[in-house]
Amino acid sequence: MVGRQGQGGGAGNKAGARRAGLDFPRPLTSVDIVIFTIRLEALHVLLVRRGHAEGEPFPDAQALPGGFVDVARDRDLEACARRKLAEKTGVVSPYLEQLGSWGSATRDPRGWSATHAYFALIPASAAETALAADAQWFPLYGAGVKPRLAFDHQEILQAAVQRLRNKVEYTSLPAYLMPEEFTLPELQRTYEIVLDRPLEKSAFRTRMLSADLIEPIDKMRKGPNRPAQLYRLKAAAAPVYFARTFNAPE
Amino acid sequence: MVGRQGQGGGAGNKAGARRAGLDFPRPLTSVDIVIFTIRLEALHVLLVRRGHAEGEPFPDAQALPGGFVDVARDRDLEACARRKLAEKTGVVSPYLEQLGSWGSATRDPRGWSATHAYFALIPASAAETALAADAQWFPLYGAGVKPRLAFDHQEILQAAVQRLRNKVEYTSLPAYLMPEEFTLPELQRTYEIVLDRPLEKSAFRTRMLSADLIEPIDKMRKGPNRPAQLYRLKAAAAPVYFARTFNAPE
DNA sequence: TGAATAGTGTCTTTCAGACAGTATTGG
DNA sequence: CCAATACTGTCTGAAAGACACTATTCA
């Protein structure tokens, strides 16, 4: 057993020879974000086209928005993620959740690298404006996306889709994909798009209305038929966890 | 908008001035593990006493087992976690799950650092043997532990306990805290210890037996009263997710 | 009036909670 | 026999699934 021994963020202690010194190679550290929205009745993810300067891996390929942590600018990982999200979409307060981290010697040809992945949900309304020039929405087919992705981003994306679909079964996450005002049928439609499966209207309404999540506003959505009650998210923006999933387990 | 622009593990593209170079400061990268077991009818976590060589932050404090990623030895983050776990406990194939990552400019006095936290469940039987000299089991009080912990490890530990308690409500995770052979009342007791709450025997048995998780073996646990059927985990070691939590939501 | 969608009510099913009751051991 | 713990059965209640029914708009 040779080598560094420190615990936590700690380095060197009892190995003696190499002690508290920090003069060993460090992995590259980045943050990537999987940003979802609903457009045209389908789940979309934001991708960014990579540059093609010399030394750039995966030139011109599509990739998740992200990049290296800037130790001078970023106070912490989440701040780094928020910065990148704002740069690409203009959105400043989305639903943002840590997804996991991927790190290995081989995922980046430039050397050992670890990325901290986040996933964000933003409303369709915010999804069109203030988009960066190199960013573009791509619809999801199954758990993936048409273009080949740089690095291990296909794997990260799949994990994000799986986590989203999974949590939608028993949480109120889709509410964060809605515009400010929405009707219950619209919310149900969003659930159905993400789950790719129809839900029962009656059970859906009961569940949503009995959760402390949305409140009716004094306004109706007019259409060519019976108007629908409009709702908005309650002030307490925390996601709600339901005690059961929507369907029986398979 | 200045600075590095790369996506993914990518660096520098269109900012022109600073391009594909990798000559910027990198955060320290470490892996920490929250290792749980059941001892003496209580949930315990493994802590390691930090060294006190010069330059060592938090000298002699207790900390989660872990340390810097060694780019020469560790193929990926999980391999790094498994290595550290084996070094401290001798256990090689526990239940191991990524917990999240914590990174900021201030969590380590030596500079910007990010740690990838894992959490592991090991059986009580494996918890006593082959323990490293500087490692020790500590019982949990609520979501924390008696001694003050180094770095932000108290926060990481709390997150781990919360995740464990939460998942125990609707998964078979406690099965990984059991020895090879166990009875249903023993498994129920483990659930109750983790949840700190009694469970209904009948519902518990029905749930466990109808899940494709355990199988009876041709052996009974003898005692001063009616013997109990012994079970073992089925070969497919994947955790089972139940459609409902044990109790109604509060 | 009819088409279309919003919203409600009713019956069934599933499964956890409560708890009583039976089974099997040692002393 | 009794104490103790393993295990089973039965009733109830909560919430989802299925689906029919009513309500309200526009054309």
C-alpha distances (whole Å) from B53 to each of A18, B26, B134 are: 11, 24, 15
pLDDT digits (tens, 9 = 90+) for A122-163: 998 887 777 888 999 999 998 888 899 999 999 999 999 999
Q: Which residues of chain B have pLDDT under 70?
A: 1-20, 247-250
The Cα–Cα gap between B149 and A39 comes to: 47
The Cα–Cα gap between B187 and B64 comes to: 27
Query: With a threshold of 0.85, does the pTM exceed it?
Result: yes
Inter-chain touch B110–A22, beta carbons under 8 Å = yes
The Cα–Cα gap between B66 and B33 comes to: 6
pLDDT digits (tens, 9 = 90+) for B65-108: 999 999 999 999 999 999 999 998 888 878 999 999 999 999 99
Q: At what angle do helices B201-210 and B184-195 cross, to 10 degrees?
A: 110
C-alpha distances (whole Å) from A164 to each of A171, B141, B243 are: 10, 33, 17
Q: Can you tell me whether residue A160 is helix, strand or coil?
A: helix
Both tokens assigned to A108: 């980046």
Using alpha carbons only, what angle is made at residue A80 by residues A165 and B103, rounded to the nearest 5 degrees?
90
Higher pLDDT, A193 or B130: A193
pLDDT above 90 as % of chain A:
69
- Are residues A187 and A201 in contact, defined by beta-carbon separation less than 8 angstroms? no
Residue nearest to nucleotide C18 (CA to C1'): B200
Residue-level length of chain A = 250
Q: Which helix (H) or strand (E) holds B121?
A: strand B113-121
User: pLDDT confidence of A247, banded at 50, 70, 90?
Assistant: low
The Cα–Cα gap between A184 and A190 comes to: 10
* Mean pLDDT for chain B overall: 87
Inter-chain touch B98–A101, beta carbons under 8 Å = yes
Both tokens assigned to A37: 């929205």
Name the CA radius of gyration of chain B, rounded: 21
The Cα–Cα gap between B196 and B146 comes to: 18
Going along chain B from its start, the domains and CATH numbers come out as 7-167 (3.90.79.10), 170-233 (1.10.10.10)
State chain A's maximal CA–CA distance in angstroms. Answer: 79
User: pLDDT confidence of A63, banded at 50, 70, 90?
Assistant: very high
Whether residue A81 has pLDDT greater than 80? yes
Query: Which residue is closest to A3 within chain B, CA to CA?
Result: B70
Q: Can you tell me whether residue B174 is helix, strand or coil?
A: helix
pLDDT at position A104 is 97
Number of Cβ pairs < 8 A linking chain A and chain B: 269
Q: Which amino acid would we find at residue A27?
A: P
Chain D: bases < 7 Å from a protein Cβ? 3-10, 14-20, 23-27
Whether residue A107 has pLDDT greater than 50? yes
Q: Can you tell me whether residue A145 is helix, strand or coil?
A: strand
Nucleotide showing the shortest C1' distance to residue B225 CA: C25
Chain B contact probe: residue of A4, A5, A7 with most B CBs at under 10 A: A7
- Are residues B99 and A96 in contact, defined by beta-carbon separation less than 8 angstroms? no
Smallest CA-to-CA distance from B32 within B146, B93, B127, B108 is with B108
Q: Mean pLDDT over residues A200-228, rounded?
A: 92
Return the DSSP state at A178.
S
- Are residues B18 and B60 in contact, defined by beta-carbon separation less than 8 angstroms? no
C-alpha distances (whole Å) from B77 to each of A10, B67, B128, B190, B249 are: 17, 11, 26, 30, 35
pLDDT digits (tens, 9 = 90+) for A216-227: 999 999 988 999
> How does B165-199 read in b/e, with b if 16+ C-beta sit within 10 Å?
bebbbbbbbbbbbbeeebbbeebbbbbbbbbeeee
Residue nearest to nucleotide D10 (CA to C1'): B202
The Cα–Cα gap between B165 and B250 comes to: 15
Tally the C-alpha atoms within 13 A of residue B104's C-alpha that lie toward its C-beta: 11
pLDDT at position A5 is 44
pLDDT at position B9 is 36
Residue-level length of chain B = 250
- Are residues B118 and B34 in contact, defined by beta-carbon separation less than 8 angstroms? yes
Higher pLDDT, B154 or A94: B154
* Beta carbons within 10 angstroms of residue B81's beta carbon: 25
- Are residues B68 and B76 in contact, defined by beta-carbon separation less than 8 angstroms? no
* Mean pLDDT for chain A overall: 87
pLDDT at position A248 is 40
Sort strands B95-104 and B113-121 into parallel, antiparallel or unpaired: antiparallel
pLDDT at position B247 is 58
Both tokens assigned to B15: 């900012």
Query: Which residue is closest to B248 within chain A, CA to CA?
Result: A243
- Are residues A79 and B79 in contact, defined by beta-carbon separation less than 8 angstroms? no
What are the backbone dihedrals phi and psi of residue B206, each rounded to the nearest 5 degrees, phi first? -55, -45
Sort strands A62-63 and A66-68 into parallel, antiparallel or unpaired: unpaired
pLDDT at position A3 is 39
Per CB-CB distance under 8 Å, the chain B contacts of A5 are 51, 67
- Are residues B207 and B213 in contact, defined by beta-carbon separation less than 8 angstroms? no
